[in-house]
Amino acid sequence: MLSNISSKSRHSLVFVLVVLFLFTLVQTVAAAPPPKYKSQYKSSGNGATAGWFTCTTSPMPGEICEDTYLDISSSRKGQGQVYFSKYRYTTDDQGYWQIIDYSYGYGPASIQIDNKLTKAVGSATLPILTCTVIIDPDGNWLENCQEAGTVSVQANWTGTGPLERSRYQYNYTSGGFSVKGQFRGTSRQADAQVLLNGQSLGNANYGGMYYNSSHEMTIQH
């Protein structure tokens, strides 16, 4: 039958058939059911962190060690927050670690960091909760927590090391569930000087500034 059709008409017919096939394919794809669940999470921001510890090795039985940690960060929208914690701990005669007490607090804060992570200045006033830990004869940990007022924080960081960049991607699929995302980060080691209620914490054992961004998508079919 096609042998009786001119070459031009034959090409036109083939073109029409291809268009009809593609239209049917598009319609089929468009008619596919939407995913049952789909979500995206994006975050980016910068911050600075510092830590102090009085013991460089595991404590001897009865020796009391103290670790202090501070982190002030800001999201891309300029919302700043601070986290502060302090732990006191020791070991028993068998070498098991025991927490004596700990304090922590978090709240709004302000921080300014330049784009090259060379300097950072942060400040905050946050409520503190202090918890005392007691171990009963049965080995259960009992905590007694009380509000311990507020603490004012004034902090300065000065970059000391080179910029370090990291980036990775991940993709996980199982059945009808999939997660994929990526992370990018830039950091620099830094000296940290921090005042708590006007009292210096001394030179930090470690300090740093950072910028991070991440994007994750979760889909369930």
- Mean pLDDT (whole number) for 171-184: 83
Q: Are residues 154 and 80 in the same domain?
A: yes
pLDDT class of 35 with cuts at 50, 70, 90: low
DSSP string, 8-48: HHHHHHHHHHHHHHHHHHHHHHHTSPPPSEEEEEEEEEEEE
Answer yes or no: do 13 and 55 share one domain: no
- 10 and 68 in a single domain? The answer is no
Tokens standing for residue 104: 């922590």
More confident residue, 168 or 64: 64
Sign of the alpha-carbon torsion through 181, 169, 162, 84: positive
- Specify whether 26 is located in the same domain as 85: no
Say if residue 131 is in the same domain as residue 116: yes
More confident residue, 47 or 220: 47
Average pLDDT of the chain? 81
Whole-number Cα distances in Å, 214 to 82, 187, 219:
20, 15, 17
d(CA 205, CA 184): 26
Shared-domain flag, residues 62 and 153: yes
Going by C-alpha positions, the residue among 128, 179, 124 that lies closest to residue 149 is 128
Token pair of 85 as six digits: 């914690």
- 125 with 23, same domain: the answer is no
Q: Which two tokens stand for residue 116?
A: 């090259």
Same domain, 5 and 81: no
pLDDT bracket for residue 12 (50, 70, 90): very low
Residues 13 and 61 placed together within one structural domain of the fold: no
* Domain boundaries, position 17: 1-32
- 105-141 pLDDT tens trace: 999 999 999 989 999 999 999 999 999 988 778 878 7
For residues 45 and 15, state if they share a domain: no
CA-based nearest residue to 210, from 115, 124, 121: 115
Number of C-beta neighbours around residue 66 at 10 A? 15
Helix (H) or strand (E) holding 7: helix 7-30
pLDDT band at 23; cut points 50, 70, 90 = very low
The pLDDT tens digits for 49-102 are 999 999 877 778 888 999 999 999 988 777 799 999 999 998 888 777 888 999
Q: For position 36, what pLDDT does the model report?
A: 61
pLDDT reported for residue 9: 46
Query: How many domains would you assign to the chain?
Result: 2
pLDDT at 105 (0 to 100): 95
Are both 143 and 94 inside the same structural domain?
yes
* 134 plus 190 within the same structural domain: yes
Average pLDDT over residues 172-185: 83
Tokens representing 199?
Answer: 């009292």
Assess whether pLDDT exceeds 60 at residue 21.
no
Q: Which residues on neighbouring strands pair with residue 99, listed in sequence order?
A: 89
Smallest CA-to-CA distance from 172 within 212, 214, 217 is with: 217
Share of the chain above pLDDT 70, in %: 82
